[in-house]
Amino acid sequence: DISPHLGCYGDPHAITPHLDQLATEGVRYSHAFTAAGVCAPCRSTIITGMYQNSIGTHHMRCNSTLPEWLQPFPMRMQEAGYYCTNNSKTDYQFSKPSSKTIWDQSGSKAHWQNRPDDAKPFFAVFNFTGCHESGIENDAKYKSVTKDLTPDQRQDPAKLTTLPPYYPDTKIVREDWKRNYELITAMDAWAGELIDELKQAGLYEETIIFYWSDHGVGLPRAKRWLYDSGTRIPMIVRIPAAFRHAEQGHPGTVDSRLISSTDFGPTVLNLAGVPLPDRLQGRPFLGNDLPEPRRYVYGARDRMDERYDIIRSVRDSQFRYVRNFEPLKPYYQYMNTPEKGATMREIRRAEQTGELSPAMKLFSAATKPAEELYDCDADPHEINNLAQNPRYLDKLNEMRAALKDWQNEIGDIGLIPEAEIEIQEKLAGSRFEILNGGDDSAAKLQRLVDIATKASQGPTVIDDLIAGLNDSDPSVRYWAATGIGNIGSNANAARPAIVAALGDSSPSVRIAAARAAAKLGESDEAIEVLRKELKSKHQWGRLAAAIVLDEMDDLAKPAVADLQMALKDQPNKYIVRVANRALNELLGADHVVP
């Protein structure tokens, strides 16, 4: 969970001597980005070389079925004779193949030193979890991770000049910002120990080293988000002279090519001389026979923990385009984990006291713009939205088109409700095949984009939304019902169709229709549907029902007993979190759940 807060990236406060030295001996990548702003979806892109919203690993803590042809890349390294180890995080969002199949050894003791033959080549991954957001939030973890820092490696929070303008400038927030730097210094020492192990074994000049982060700093408006603060990462690659191809890998150089986390696996395979599968979406950026450099990198945000917010992003070397498919949701939806953090609590306090700065107000707003466009060179914190500026219309149109092309190319399934994905996955064989299994996939996706866009356009499109309730595609019906719910009391013309949709064959449609029905004055019927869905066999349908009940405020009081049962009986922690939040609001309680 770190952004490029390293000395070699020019950060004025970073104390990172080992990684700075690695950059001196290797290549520092200035435009490396992750495909998601959170760990598990991003890890799935790294291990597969595929976008998470293409293979169905886009929702946090989901369990996707991979297409039969897709092999996690360490398995191909094993087939090529490499001893492959992982120490120790997996978190790939799929259960098959298992970690035992993907790796020769995976766990806290996994190490290249354990290979059966010293002559056997190895591919070893080491994960440092001390920089995780919990290291900032949790006092005990922060103290444990940084216990060996010397006094001159400690930071004075009052002297830090890099605090972003979208945070309150308070002692509490500065303490979090200080902790981020000190955790990074502890990580740097850990990296130095791994490098020393190679040197002591006489393997330093025989080993290619990759260093990167899985996403940006573990604080609000960074982790989980698609801005540079959440997806721009440090990445350093050191290639010994004997393994350099063409003009690659010269010590002390900076590479400004756009790199995506989907590219890491294909690059490792290419450097090892392992043939690349034809259908991989990632591209190698080192080795022989390289493709053209990327013009864009892409990002996707979907369900983050217990809350849905469908967002897509396109980034070129200068500009970032953001498409909010659910603009009527606030930036800062209530999520259990970030709300525990001191910085998020300070943001909430500033919201209550009216102490928000102009930059903070942008992200504490009740709604989001449908589109955002930023000049990241001129505006590195991405504060000044240029999407409505006529001077940038050509760039806006270009990046809109790039997003559409990418979604079609990969078969983006993010606009399909999660409960519906689980249903369609069983029919298609894998989540990838849902929108990559027929000639009509592009047309189907475009219909979803169109109806999802209309869902936030208000009463002017109500006729289209009513018509959408009769579509053969349950995902289209879902978005139509969602759009009518977004309009609320001004959608009376849709009342009969919404009441009929309460009996739809799809749980996702029934839940969206219940939300709309409640806003149209049919709260008794809506509550009855939601109470049933809260007990259904579809866990993500149960979550969606809990979210709607949470949104209904006092109208949800007849479902208090059902929410209390959900709080006690659910194996899905995200349902527990939403049920707990709803009950706290309904009952004036302050109960805390993990």
Residue 408: which residues within 8 A CB-CB, separation 6 or more?
A: 441, 442, 445, 446
307 backbone dihedrals φ, ψ, rounded to 5°: -125, 140
What's the CA angle centered on 144, arms 139 and 146, to 5 degrees? Answer: 95
Q: How many helices (H) and strands (E) does the chain have?
A: 24, 12
Cβ density class 478-494: b for 16+ within 10 Å, e for less: bbbbbbbbbbeeebeeb
Do the beta carbons of residue 541 and residue 507 sit within 8 Å?
yes
Give Cα separations from 22 to 128, 208, 253 (angstroms): 17, 11, 11
Query: How far is the C-alpha of 167 from the C-alpha of 182, rounded, in Å?
Result: 19
Name the residue with tokens 């435009």: 31
SS (H, E, C) 163-179: CCCCCCCCHHHHHHHHH
Do the beta carbons of residue 474 and residue 508 sit within 8 Å?
yes
User: Would you state the structure tokens that stand for residue 260, as one six-digit string?
Assistant: 């995506």
Q: Amino acid letter at 61?
A: R
Alpha-helical regions (H) of 455-491:
462-468, 474-487
Catalytic positions are 39
Residue 89: which residues within 8 A CB-CB, separation 6 or more?
A: 39, 43, 127, 129
Q: Which of 2, 1, 37, 4 is nearest to 225 (CA)?
A: 37
Query: How far is the C-alpha of 217 from the C-alpha of 186, rounded, in Å?
Result: 15
Q: Which of 589, 594, 557 is nearest to 575 (CA)?
A: 594
Q: How far apart are the first and last CA of the chain?
A: 20
User: Would you state the structure tokens that stand for residue 43, as one six-digit string?
Assistant: 């890890």
Q: Amino acid letter at 514?
A: A
Residue 459: which residues within 8 A CB-CB, separation 6 or more?
A: 487, 490, 491
Query: How far is the C-alpha of 216 from the C-alpha of 3, rounded, in Å?
Result: 4
**Cα-atom radius of gyration of the chain, to the nearest Å?**
24
142 CA to centre of own chain: 24
Do the beta carbons of residue 179 and residue 135 sit within 8 Å?
yes
User: Would you state the structure tokens that stand for residue 587, as one six-digit string?
Assistant: 């009952």
The dihedral sign for the CA sequence 209, 210, 213, 214: negative
Look up residue 1 and give its DSSP letter.
Answer: -
Query: How far is the C-alpha of 525 from the C-alpha of 202, rounded, in Å?
Result: 72
